[in-house]
Amino acid sequence: EKFNLDAPQKDSDILLIGRRHVRSNNSWLHNSQRLVKGKSRCTLMLHPELAQQQSIKNGDLVKVTSRVGSIEIEAEVTDELMPGVVSIPHGWGHNRKGIRQGIAQKHAGVSVNDLTDESLIDTLSGNAAVNGVPVVLELVPTSSQSAAPQSTKKKAEAVSLN
């Protein structure tokens, strides 16, 4: 069987990829005040062209929706990404029940796992595909921007991306 490098993307022209930061390794470094101080690194990075198309400005709260869930996250407009691609770091979402890392909870961020789709499989490795996840962006109205970022994952129901 041939490996198809051009697998079709469905429902969205915007693709989500992950990233790491030098002061963050998965989640275990998020409980060190020395490493989490300063501006938030759990942001949605997007290209200025895409930001303009979506009427999103640096610092805006954005709802990111995939087939399986949605999160609200602060936008970081940067030319470090290609247009049509957005990036969210993995290892965040420390606001869940049972988390016992006090510093990490104060810098909770959101979990990219709430967007990853268990039905998307990397053909070559057979692992879950955590990059290239189709998403839709929506600016959260200003009155809600003071609220903390949130995440939800839908169970057994599809989210329409149309």
pLDDT > 90: percent of the chain:
36
Angle at 84 between CA 111 and CA 91, to 5 degrees: 15
* Total-model pTM: 0.73
Q: Tell me, yes or no, whether 111 lies in a domain.
A: yes
| Residue of higher predicted confidence among 123 and 1 | 123
Distance in angstroms (rounded) separating the CA atoms of residues 46 and 112: 15
Q: Tell me, yes or no, whether 1 lies in a domain.
A: no
| Amino acid in position 16 | L
Q: Tell me, yes or no, whether 91 lies in a domain.
A: yes
Distance in angstroms (rounded) separating the CA atoms of residues 141 and 147: 11
Q: How many domains does the chain have?
A: 1
Q: Tell me, yes or no, whether 3 lies in a domain.
A: no
Distances from the Cα of 130 to the Cα of 4, 48, 75, 92, 126, angstroms: 17, 23, 20, 14, 12
Q: Tell me, yes or no, whether 8 lies in a domain.
A: no
Mean pLDDT of 151-155: 58
- Predicted confidence at residue 120, as pLDDT, reads 86
What is the separation of C-alpha 49 from the centre of its chain, rounded to a whole number of angstroms?
Answer: 19
Q: Tell me, yes or no, whether 141 lies in a domain.
A: yes
- Predicted confidence at residue 58, as pLDDT, reads 95
Q: Residues for the chain: how many in total?
A: 162
Number of other residues whose CB lies within 10 A of the CB of residue 159: 17
Structural domain containing residue 26: 14-153
pLDDT tens sequence across 78-89: 999 999 999 998
Yes or no: say if 117 and 67 are a contact pair by the CB < 8 Å rule. yes
The CATH number assigned to the domain holding 42 equals 2.40.40.20
pLDDT tens sequence across 39-76: 767 899 999 999 999 999 999 999 999 999 999 999 99
- Predicted confidence at residue 99, as pLDDT, reads 66
CA torsion 78-54-130-154 (nearest 10°) is: 140
Q: Tell me, yes or no, whether 158 lies in a domain.
A: no
Mean pLDDT of 91-117: 68
Q: Tell me, yes or no, whether 7 lies in a domain.
A: no
pLDDT at 145 over 60: no
pLDDT at 93 over 80: no
pLDDT at 6 over 50: no
For the chain, state the CA radius of gyration. Answer: 16
Distance in angstroms (rounded) separating the CA atoms of residues 49 and 100: 40
